[in-house]
Amino acid sequence: MKYKMAHLLRFALQCVSSVLFVLLLAKLSYPLGAEGPIYRWLARLDPWLLFSQLRWHYAVPSWGWLPLLMLVVTLFAGRVFCGWLCPFGALLELADKASRAIFKKRSVTCAKVLTALQPVRYYWLIVLAVVFLLGSNWVLFLTPFALFSHEIVRVLQGSFPWALIMIIVGTLFFSRLWCSIICPTGVLLSLIARKRYFRYQITGNCVHCEKCTSACSVSSAPEDSGVAKEWCLACGSCQQVCPTKAISWRRSSRQGTGSLMALNDELAATKSQSSRRQFFKGAVTVAVAIAFWEKTVGATKKFLRPPGALPESDFTAACNRCGRCIEVCPSKALWPMPIAAGLGNFETPYLIPRKAGCNLCMTCQAVCPTGAISQVFSLKEIQIGKANINKPRCLAWSEKTLCFLCGERCPVRAIAGDERHRPSVLLDKCVGCGSCENACPVDGEAAIQVLTI
């Protein structure tokens, strides 16, 4: 009875987590309500966000206890976050169950694929760690809160959620491949869960029916070793389908099947030591090359960023591309950068003043989970760019027309007019919001443009 209650509790938590995440993001708008702080606190559950803060600020933030608590829970009970709380994981589990219902024989193939790929996960973790330490924040983009947020924002903005569709399709054919092998948070927690205190293990009369193996979505069932592997999601599916009730959730064994599993792991490690060394060297080399390339393409050109954004190279390395600033912007002045700008800038937010000017509401700062958009408390601290007038295109300068729309729209009064009402920019006051460029009546390219500084 208690196992059924645990199963129902897990199902309820997954539903609440996934539905609440989507609904709150759909509601994210100006003026910002409670959904902004809720999203920031949800993102802080992920240990990678804490590592990002340590990398840039060299100090534990005030909320650092939350991801540390998640690590402690993982040491105690395994990947509870992935199997019980992750909103993205809940969606992928739904896709996996649908696939299992449609393709009856798919579970055997999935188990073989996941088993064959298990050794890859920790080499992938090495690649992620090296890329992350060298300054790239693409690791955070792949974490569940950031990636799921990014794809929902794409849907809300009318764009195709290419990453979400690819991951769901992969789940339909290869079960929880993303959660088991690729997700940075899942792989990191798998490493921590190797030393977990409680786990599923065989404590009764196992008849080797392999039903637990078929039911497990990440190929971690205890049927072959007696103990569930470290990437177990603590979902209890193996326990529910066991016909002899031989699987129990209890304190980790230090003898018997546990020791046998450790011995088998040691023999396998010795057997493939040479190939693993070569793979490790290749992974590190690729990681260094990717990180260096991303840093280079991200730093070659400056772009107009949200108010309060870090310097360009730091911004591209800190932004996790979650898209929340784009969604919450009331004037729709922020847009995701196209792939043509380089992988280091791809999907990061930037300002297009000709489409809309920033109204300096600072809401983007309130929803940024990584600190890429830092909080500023005065307009004097904002340096998005500087406006520049192209006099041959300006109606007031070239055609002597009485046009002063740019000055009228400027929120900080950084545009002054002379005796003929011809505009000029007061650079010491200009914050680069782009309202002037957006207001310019000239067809095509505006006569006044905001340039990076």
The residues, ordered by sequence, that sit 6+ positions from 183 with a Cβ below 8 Å of its Cβ are 82, 142, 143, 144
| Residue among 240, 249, 250 nearest 7 (CA) | 240
Integer Cα distance of 167 and 77 in angstroms: 27
Integer Cα distance of 314 and 309 in angstroms: 9
Q: Which amino acid is at 316?
A: T
**Domain covering 385-451 assigned CATH 1.10.10.10 in the classification:** no
Element (H, E) at 125: helix 120-133
Q: Is the pLDDT of residue 80 over 90?
A: yes
Element (H, E) at 254: none
Decide which of 137 and 288 is more confident.
Answer: 137
pLDDT in the model for residue 22: 93
Q: How far is CA 41 from the centre of its chain?
A: 14
Token pair listed for 240: 């529910």
Token pair listed for 248: 């129990």
- Express each pLDDT in 19-41 by its tens digit: 999 998 998 888 888 888 888 89
Decide which of 444 and 110 is more confident.
Answer: 444
Element (H, E) at 26: helix 2-27
- Express each pLDDT in 332-384 by its tens digit: 999 999 988 877 888 999 999 999 999 999 999 999 999 999 988 888 889 99
- Express each pLDDT in 212-228 by its tens digit: 888 888 989 887 778 99
Lowest mean pLDDT, pick from 87-91, 265-269, 426-430, 449-453 = 265-269
Integer Cα distance of 383 and 111 in angstroms: 54
- Express each pLDDT in 291-328 by its tens digit: 655 555 555 568 999 999 999 888 988 899 999 999 99
Integer Cα distance of 330 and 29 in angstroms: 7
Strand boundaries in 135-275, DSSP class E: 198-202, 247-251
Element (H, E) at 124: helix 120-133
Q: Is the pLDDT of residue 2 over 90?
A: no
Greatest CA separation for the chain: 96
Q: What b-and-e string marks burial along 318-352, b requiring 16 or more CB atoms within 10 Å of the CB?
A: bbbbbbbbbbbbebebbebbeeebbebbbbbbbbb
* Domain positions in the chain: 2-271, 385-451
Q: How far is CA 213 from the centre of its chain?
A: 30
Mean pLDDT rounded to a whole number for the chain: 86
Q: How far is CA 265 from CA 262, 272, 436, in A?
A: 5, 11, 66
pLDDT category at 262 given cuts 50, 70, 90 is very low
Average pLDDT over residues 55-63: 86
pLDDT in the model for residue 39: 86
**SS3 for 103?**
coil
CB contact at 8 A, 48 and 140: yes
Integer Cα distance of 232 and 255 in angstroms: 20
pLDDT in the model for residue 291: 61
Global pTM?
0.86
| CA-atom Rg of the chain in angstroms | 26
**SS3 for 28?**
coil
Integer Cα distance of 233 and 110 in angstroms: 16
Name the pairing type of β-strands 247-251 and 198-202: antiparallel
Q: Which amino acid is at 181?
A: I
pLDDT in the model for residue 129: 85
pLDDT category at 6 given cuts 50, 70, 90 is confident
Neighbouring C-alpha atoms within 13 Å toward the C-beta of 97:
8
Q: Is the pLDDT of residue 259 over 60?
A: no
